[in-house]
Structure 1
Amino acid sequence: MTEGMNEIVRGALVIARRDFNALIRSRAFIFFLITPVIMLGIALAAGNVGSHMAKPDLARTIAVAMPDGDVARLIAAQRRLKAIVPDFPMLETGRAESASGDLLLAGSLRSPVLHADAQDAQALGDEVRLLVDTARQSEDAVAAPLAIRLKPARPHPAAPVDRSATAQLGQMCLFLATMLLAGMVLSNLVEEKANKIIEILTASIPMEAIFLGKLFAMLGMALIAIAVWTALGGAIALLAGSALPAVPAPAVGWPLFVALGFVYFSSAYLLLGSLYLGIGAMAATVRDVQTLSMPVSMGQVGIFLFANYATARPGTLIEGVACLFPFSSPFALMARAAQFPALWPHLVLLLWQALCTWLIIRAGTAMFRRNVMKSRGMGRRAGGRRGRVQPS
């Protein structure tokens, strides 16, 4: 038993080193790194334009709660200023609060009071003073200057709600990275089957070692891509500074949450990649790969939605099922790391995911021997006569 496992490990290291070097040194890998960055930039630009088109600028509307005569004079003053400054704020009358609930001009023209938070008071304070001074032009009596009363800071949402948003963000990033990178495993084995290379490898290396080596070579390439994209995202975040929306801190803290993100990406990649390897081993052409992989890809979308649904119900039976089912477990546990500080469930379920990955690989290699190797008359040679593995 020990000798067989040593042979599998040695063979997997040979295959992994061979495939990893071939992947990293190819020109396609550079284009692979650049393409998602370009797509993300286009998506962010389109989203920014769409948000400006879809949402009115609520901070440019000022609610007015004054006597009718003062309101009429303010409206007339606003129209005159609007003709000179087209983006001058609009007025909203008849309500005690503005549409955004932040700006309210109350009192009277002789003693006006602007109720606003600190940010809006700094942005629109001068424009409100100009509006009041313009409306007072026909007034001879002495009037008090505009008084600004700052509203108290709004209370932050409860911690579970904040952490739920962080959990969903972590799940989304994990899902997108897995679906983007795991699909590359499919075509790798098909190419070597078409070139008859797989038949040479199986004569000297256990089939499990071939599957493991290819899987970990692709995982190494994927982790390099994730590290490059993470570093680029961190640089953008540092340059943007406070312009980015604040994300609530996860329960386990940011350093451990990011580390768990890499661990769960590796686990999800190995689980899905082992399944894809089995499909690639059974497929004869690239067209067969696309046909057989479509149900798996659609099922993975459903699994992600199930894990996302369970995230909103922590501590329930649904969340427990999502954590135990191997394909949804990385996504559910990623959310759990954002919501709960306990670490022991992660250690236990990571071992469970590793066991499931090995079982899927064994099942894939068994189907490959039975349906592919024996149909080519190589079942006895691949299963019995193997030479010593030589490092390449």
Structure 2
Amino acid sequence: MRELLRAAFVVARRDFTAIIFSKAFILFLIGPLLPLGIGVVAGGLGQRMATESLRPVVGITLSAKEAQALEDGQARLKSLFYRRPAIQLRRYAAGEQPDALLARKGERINVVLSGTLDRPVLTGRQGDIDRMRGDIALIASIARAGSALPETAVTTRIVADSSGAQQQARLLTGRLAQILLFLLTMLLAGMVLSNMVEEKTNKIIEILAAAIPVDAIFLGKLMAMLAMSFVGIAVWSSATVAVYTVFVGISFPLPPPAMGWPLFLMLAAVYFATAYTLLGSLFIGIGAQAATVRDVQTISMPITMTQVMFFFLASFNVDRMGQPMELLAVAFPFSSPFAMIARAAQSDALLPHLAALAWQWLWVALIIRIGVRLFRRNVLKSGGGGRGFFSRLRVSISRSGT
């Protein structure tokens, strides 16, 4: 075991140094800025959808007195519910034809309210009317009641916290941690596959296999790529904290997890390492059988889609801790890191995490061992001039067809 770890560290140091001091690594660090920019644009679009310009517009052709009462009713409703009204009210001349208003270009009116407050008439498409009828009826009722509508005075007592608020906050922390863990894993683990195929194509892997055990090669490459991933995460985290501090301040709005931030962040780093090595060991084992980039593309897509399904399994059961489906997500190795990081946000029990980590690392060792055996059987002992398993499979299929 000592010789195996020593050889693995040699491979890891070689790969890590080659990656860190390459120009491609700088581009790798800049790469996540693209999805970050997309997220900022998407957030801006979502905020724009909540502004006045994109809410449905109701044209009002009531008398001036009734139109003012309707606007006052909407303002009162807003003060009661402390939220932006779902519709916009826009006045027009009393008695104007609703059909003409709806057909007028540039007005962007969804429905027209005509008649009187006692007998209102809505004109528009069926879907728009069904969507806005309730809001308009409520506002019209408040406008008709006017000052006669009683408003009960509510006495308030402020407490520092509540169990319901804590539970909801911890659920939010758990979901955000799951998403971040999944995105980082999927972003970084695929590099193991391409690195393995590149060295296999250049015959470097055969030279290494002749000098040290294949187990050490696989383990060393996983260690190097994991260390490179932590360097990237450290750079991205530092940049994010710096930008957040400059534009927002030192306040941190994310609710604290059940076991506190120091232990939670430590577990998050460990669960990222396990999630990365689980997926990376699978990639490196299958990538050792591939001979071309086309094989890599064929392999990576089904694995990626399957991993997305495992993430959805864990994400769907965040608020079902202890139930059968959540226990299934905890027990299945590829969804276990995501399920357990959500548990860390909701419960301060440490023993389940130790058991889960031991279970996950056992699967890492098993997958690496299976990958090594397949590599020895299908690549090192093949007589096809170094061709991979998938290439030889295509050749045998073509020969059987002829």
Normalising by structure 1, we get a TM-score of 0.71
Change (3 A) 1:153 1:208: farther
Structure 1 position 75, deviation (Å) = 3.8
RMSD over aligned CA atoms reads: 3.2
Structure 1 position 53, deviation (Å) = 2.3
CA distance in 1, matches of 2:247, 2:156: 27
Change (3 A) 1:98 1:212: same
Which residue type is aligned with residue 218 of structure 1?
M
| 1:186–1:280 contact (8 Å) kept in structure 2 | yes
Structure 1 position 247, deviation (Å) = 2.0
Alignment of 1:186-335 (within 5 A): 186-241=193-248, 246-335=253-342
CA distance in 2, matches of 1:378, 1:202: 16
| 1:163–1:338 contact (8 Å) kept in structure 2 | yes
- Report sequence identity in percent: 51
Match of 1:102 among 82, 96, 99: 82
SS at match of 1:159: helix
Structure 1 position 158, deviation (Å) = 2.6
Deviations 1:245-300 (A, max 9, x none): 83221111122222211111111000000000011101010110110121111000
Match of 1:22 among 18, 21, 24: 18
Deviations 1:272-330 (A, max 9, x none): 00000011101010110110121111000000000011212111122112111111111
Deviations 1:165-193 (A, max 9, x none): 11110000000000000000011111111
Structure 1 position 232, deviation (Å) = 1.5
Q: How many residues align?
A: 307
SS at match of 1:311: coil
- Find the counterpart in structure 1 of residue 47 from structure 2: 52
CA distance in 1, matches of 2:83, 2:186: 46
Which residue type is aligned with residue 237 of structure 1?
Y
Which residue type is aligned with residue 55 of structure 1?
A
| 1:9–1:209 contact (8 Å) kept in structure 2 | yes
Change (3 A) 1:7 1:230: same
Which residue type is aligned with residue 46 of structure 2?
S
- Find the counterpart in structure 1 of residue 170 from structure 2: 163
Greater RCO structure (CA 8 Å; 6+ sep): 1
Which residue type is aligned with residue 178 of structure 1?
T
- Find the counterpart in structure 1 of residue 352 from structure 2: 345
SS at match of 1:268: helix
SS at match of 2:77: coil
Q: 5+ residue gaps in structure 2?
A: 54-63, 85-152, 387-402
- Find the counterpart in structure 1 of residue 139 from structure 2: none
Structure 1 position 342, deviation (Å) = 0.8
Which residue type is aligned with residue 54 of structure 1?
M
| 1:279–1:293 contact (8 Å) kept in structure 2 | no
Which residue type is aligned with residue 19 of structure 1?
D
CA distance in 2, matches of 1:332, 1:266: 15
Structure 1 position 361, deviation (Å) = 0.2
Find out whether 1:35 has 2:31 as its counterpart.
Answer: yes
Structure 1 position 102, deviation (Å) = 2.6
Deviations 1:56-102 (A, max 9, x none): 359xxxxxxxxxxxx949949xxxxxxxxxxxxx9442785227713
| 1:92–1:98 contact (8 Å) kept in structure 2 | no
Deviations 1:181-231 (A, max 9, x none): 000001111111111111111111100000000010000000000111111
Which residue type is aligned with residue 12 of structure 1?
A
Normalising by structure 2, we get a TM-score of 0.70
Change (3 A) 1:153 1:358: same
Structure 1 position 234, deviation (Å) = 1.6
Change (3 A) 1:238 1:72: same
CA distance in 1, matches of 2:324, 2:269: 27
Change (3 A) 1:247 1:150: farther
CA distance in 1, matches of 2:255, 2:46: 23
Alignment of 1:61-210 (within 5 A): 72=65, 75=68, 91-93=71-73, 97-98=77-78, 101-102=81-82, 158-210=165-217
Which residue type is aligned with residue 188 of structure 2?
L
| 1:307–1:332 contact (8 Å) kept in structure 2 | yes
Match of 1:370 among 366, 369, 377: 377
CA distance in 2, matches of 1:345, 1:233: 31
- Find the counterpart in structure 2 of residue 86 from structure 1: none
